[in-house]
Chains A and B, each alone.
Chain A
Amino acid sequence: MLQSIGYFMRRVGRNLRQTPVLCSAAIGTVAVALMIIGFFGIVVVNVQQVAQQWSREIQVVAYFDQVPDLGKVQQWRSSLEAMAEIERVEYVSRDEAFKRFKIRLGTDADLLDGVGADFLPASLEIILHDDNQNKGGVEAVVQRLKQIPELDDISYEPEWLERFDAFVGLLKVAGIVFGGFLLFAALFIVSNTIKLTLYARREEIEIMALVGGTPLFIKMPFLIEGALQGILGGLLALCGVWAVFTLVLREGLYGVLMVTGTEGILFLSPMQQWGMALCGLMLGLTGSLLSLRKFVRI
């Protein structure tokens, strides 16, 4: 077994030396394909991040028509927080609301001189769990709040919510379709490039079969070679994506998405970087597997 591995590795090394142009072409194809996917991935990651920040602001506010009894407020809070959709309920008293309003006015706060702190209503602010920050979640909460007669007005933004839901859904579908299409195209090109390297060695493959090589034994060096080319292409793509990210993409995304600073623009997570290398490996492996089917027949 060990000695077979040594034998396969020697053959792989020799193949790489014998057809360097074709091998570089295979590596290059994997690299370019994965780089495009990587760019797209970064864009999706960052748009999703921004979308998540927006959705933090999705909350339901319920206003009291009169100052409520604090004991009752405590009861409502605990019964609301028991709902699966709700993460947290905060009580905002009239004083608290006035304080916030003053802060928001900033330098114009002197406009409030002589105004009593009681013109703003007290309210309950309901913050939903991440996975319930959608139309369904909000409506469930609103239904529950309507059962509390002391509440005068319930404020939420159904239209905006609907659009937000649609946008996130579209992003997901586009990601799957576009990513899948790119992977498929990459696989097609890679398998054709590898087919060329096999074509250059068809004489050898034919004779291996004639002198009693088993299909697996014949294929193994080519599979290792494909996997190696794939993982090299994946690493190359990673370097390329990183370079372009630091040079232009970060600034560009910052300009479009308007997050708090360029540090706010994310690169692929370590997990996603591993995924990219693995993707390269799988591309190379399946690419050679697909083209070998045509060449190794006994």
Chain B
Amino acid sequence: MIQLYNVCMSYQKEATALNEFSLKVPKGDFLYLTGPSGAGKSTLLKLLYGAVKPTRGQVLINGMNITRMRSWRIPMLRRKLGIVFQDFKLISTRTVFENVAFPLEMQGKKRFEISNKVYQALKHVGLQGKLNRFPLQLSGGEQQRAAIARALVIDPLILLADEPTGNLDDDVTCEIMELFKGANARGTTVLLATHNREIIRRYPRRIVSLDKGRLVDDHTP
């Protein structure tokens, strides 16, 4: 359950990235964040994973108020989240396997448990044959699948995806969307920021539209 109440957020004094923004996302929901470039979609996601703090208002995740969360507790919040980016953010000097193992290593999990889970996650996204490759030896779609495996390997409560298909062509976009659908079917709440109307049409879900930091529309087709 995600709750935002009258959230304002600005990077500099004048320009507001979010303005009196309120939203409720029940557990297990699948929701698109859409709107023109600069509307505040990325800022909203950053707020949820604790990369920025709201200037005003309250943000709650699972009843936990993260507005005034001490910075040492932010890692604990992030261990419940899976995050996927447009540019994948894989470590280029590490193999696919090592990249996906990273979140588990950060939690200090045992080695055999890590290899088990990583293998399962990579199998789930269809990369079990390429676990010793380096990210740059993979296609864009494969890199994004590796990034999704890294997000899902910890069984996150919430999956945050910021334009995850922005760099990918249509066929690959469908593969990626199937992975998000599957994760959602297994109970993960999904927030997906995109301005790709085509995928919204093909996978109709709740749509939250933003413009200039304000919520302008919230409907489920």
Contact for A212 among B79, B92, B94, B111, CB less than 8 A: B79
Interface size class on chain A is 10 to 19
Complex CA–CA separation, A207 to B106 (angstroms): 10
B110 touches A214 (CB 8 A): no
Interfacial chain B residues near A211, Cβ < 8 Å:
78-79, 83, 102-103, 106, 150, 154
Contacts A207-B102, A208-B102, A211-B150; is A298 near B108 (CB within 8 Å)? no
Interfacial chain B residues near A208, Cβ < 8 Å:
102, 106
B78 touches A207 (CB 8 A): no
Which of the 9-residue segments B67-75, B126-134, B190-198 touches chain A?
B67-75
Most buried by A among B72, B74, B102, B106: B106
A215 touches B72 (CB 8 A): yes
Q: Which residue of A lies closest to B91 (CB)?
A: A204
Chain A residues 1-30 with CB under 8 Å of chain B are 3-4, 7, 18
Contact for A214 among B50, B72, B91, B103, CB less than 8 A: B72
B83 touches A210 (CB 8 A): yes
Contacts A3-B110, A4-B108; is A210 near B71 (CB within 8 Å)? no
A212 touches B108 (CB 8 A): no
Complex CA–CA separation, A215 to B111 (angstroms): 21
Chain A residues 207-252 with CB under 8 Å of chain B are 207-215, 217-218
A110 contacts B by Cβ under 8 Å = no
B75 touches A214 (CB 8 A): yes
Q: Chain B nearest CB: distance from A258 CB in Å?
A: 59
B150 touches A298 (CB 8 A): no
Q: Which residue of B lies closest to A3 (CB)?
A: B110
Complex CA–CA separation, A203 to B102 (angstroms): 13
Interfacial chain B residues near A298, Cβ < 8 Å:
50, 71, 74-75
B106 touches A217 (CB 8 A): yes
Contact for B106 among A3, A206, A212, CB less than 8 A: A212
Complex CA–CA separation, A279 to B79 (angstroms): 38
Instruction: Convert B66-96 into 0s and 1s, putting 1 for each residue whose CB lies closer than 8 angstroms to a CB of A.
Output: 0000011011111101010000010111100
Complex CA–CA separation, A203 to B87 (angstroms): 12
Q: Chain A nearest CB: distance from B89 CB in Å?
A: 6
B137 contacts A by Cβ under 8 Å = no
Q: Chain A nearest CB: distance from B124 CB in Å?
A: 18
B72 touches A207 (CB 8 A): no
Chain B residues 94-115 with CB under 8 Å of chain A are 94, 102-103, 105-108, 110-111
Most buried by B among A4, A206, A212: A212
Chain B residues 131-177 with CB under 8 Å of chain A are 150, 154
A207 touches B89 (CB 8 A): yes
Chain A residues 169-228 with CB under 8 Å of chain B are 203-204, 206-215, 217-218
B91 touches A207 (CB 8 A): yes
B49 contacts A by Cβ under 8 Å = yes
B105 touches A212 (CB 8 A): no
Q: Which residue of A lies closest to B89 (CB)?
A: A207
Interfacial chain B residues near A206, Cβ < 8 Å:
89
Instruction: Convert B6-40 into 0s and 1s, putting 1 for each residue whose CB lies closer than 8 angstroms to a CB of A.
Output: 00000000000000000000000000000000000
Interfacial chain B residues near A213, Cβ < 8 Å:
75, 106
A217 touches B150 (CB 8 A): no
Q: Which residue of B lies closest to A1 (CB)?
A: B108
A203 touches B92 (CB 8 A): yes
12 more CB-based (< 8 A) A-B contacts, given A7-B105, A212-B107: A3-B108, A206-B89, A209-B75, A210-B89, A211-B78, A211-B83, A211-B102, A211-B106, A212-B75, A212-B77, A214-B72, A215-B72
Please list 6 pairs of residues, one from A and one from B, whose beta carbons are closer than 8 Å in the complex, sorted by A's number: A4-B108, A207-B91, A208-B102, A211-B102, A215-B72, A298-B74
